[in-house]
Amino acid sequence: MTALNHVKGVAAATLLALGLAPVSASALELRGWNIHVEDYPVSIAMEAFLAEVEEKTDGEISGKVYHNGVLGSQPDAIEQMRLGVIDFGEFNLGPMGQAVPEANVTALPFIFKSVPQMYALMDGAAGEAIGEGMKAKGIVPLGWYAAGARSFYNSVRPINTPADVEGLKVRVMSNDLFVKMVEAMDGNATPMAFAEVYQSIKTGVVDGAENNPPSYESTNHYEVAQYYSLTEHLIIPECLCMSLKSWNKLSPEQQEIVMAAGRASAEMQRELWAEREAASMEKVEAGGVTVNTVADKAPFQDAMTPVYDAFLESNPKLADLVSLIRDAD
């Protein structure tokens, strides 16, 4: 035994005596980005992911999830992850579309017909193609998370037809597609960081925004924008994913563990999502929100024709992926 190995052996024995497992010299500490509050379905599933990875690798891989967006805005975090500064995170494919063209396809309004259909397509050929596109940009998808359907909310009036959007100032996520989506209904779109939306609605910088029930509720946006109109115009999947740079530091066995833990956490998250969605709707209604369903979504879908035309014109290579999703049953 070399002197160094002897020292390591003694150190390990000491740790064992203290009841602590020895950490190997190649131990990895992962930094995880998350925009949501700690009790959000995404957050709980991310913690479960990390706990499973830590357990199954005997502590060789550990880490910390930084909740509440403290590591920066979503577009910045995506770039940081591509650079390997952030190791993993949970991202919406809307903002990710800025870096990964294939992800943009899921940010086209009304492209998925329902949340179950979105799951089926993302767990199949569409998820495969988008995942390949992500890998080409330095991002490894580990699991497709749920984010339900996004609907408009504002402080001015309920939205029943596209004409009701006219003149409204609407915050959107960072992606040109969402600006075009609102403009197609003659609204004024403002891309803005998630963290700034509450104050902006409160002070009248914008009239409202659009999001799924859990985010509308968890951010308290419902307190300042009390008309929630169930347009369900965007069903955008989310992704637990890892920086390719961090992924490449893992052994094949560790990669297998990380991938399996990612998949398992997505299953958990989808269940938590369904529960939270119902609870959030109850909470906002109890909080004085006027919720309206939209009897006829066809006029909204028709209004999106220029958005699709412009997208296909500038992304001809993505036409097959658009059809794969749009024409699916």
Residues at the interface with ligand BDP (CB under 6 A): 35, 74, 92, 147, 173, 194, 211-212, 215, 238
CB 126 → ligand BDP: shortest distance, Å?
A: 19
CB 211 → ligand BDP: shortest distance, Å?
A: 5
CB 327 → ligand BDP: shortest distance, Å?
A: 27
Closest CA to 39 of 218, 216, 213: 218
CB 307 → ligand BDP: shortest distance, Å?
A: 18
CB 92 → ligand BDP: shortest distance, Å?
A: 4
The SS3 call for residue 13 is helix
CB 69 → ligand BDP: shortest distance, Å?
A: 8
Beta strands in the chain (DSSP E): 28-33, 61-66, 88-92, 139-145, 150-154, 169-172, 188-191, 208-211, 227-234, 238-243, 290-293
DSSP 8-state code for residue 156: S
- Three-class DSSP labels, 123-145: CCHHHHHHHHHHHHCCEEEEEEE
Number of CB atoms found within 10 A of residue 211's CB: 26
**CB-wise, 31 or 171, nearer to ligand BDP?**
171
**CB-wise, 73 or 255, nearer to ligand BDP?**
73
**CB-wise, 54 or 76, nearer to ligand BDP?**
76
Number of CB atoms found within 10 A of residue 74's CB: 22
**CB-wise, 71 or 250, nearer to ligand BDP?**
71
**CB-wise, 145 or 300, nearer to ligand BDP?**
145
**Residue 151, CB half-sphere, CA atoms under 13 Å: how many?**
28
**CB-wise, 57 or 104, nearer to ligand BDP?**
104
**Beta-bridge partner residues of 292:** 229
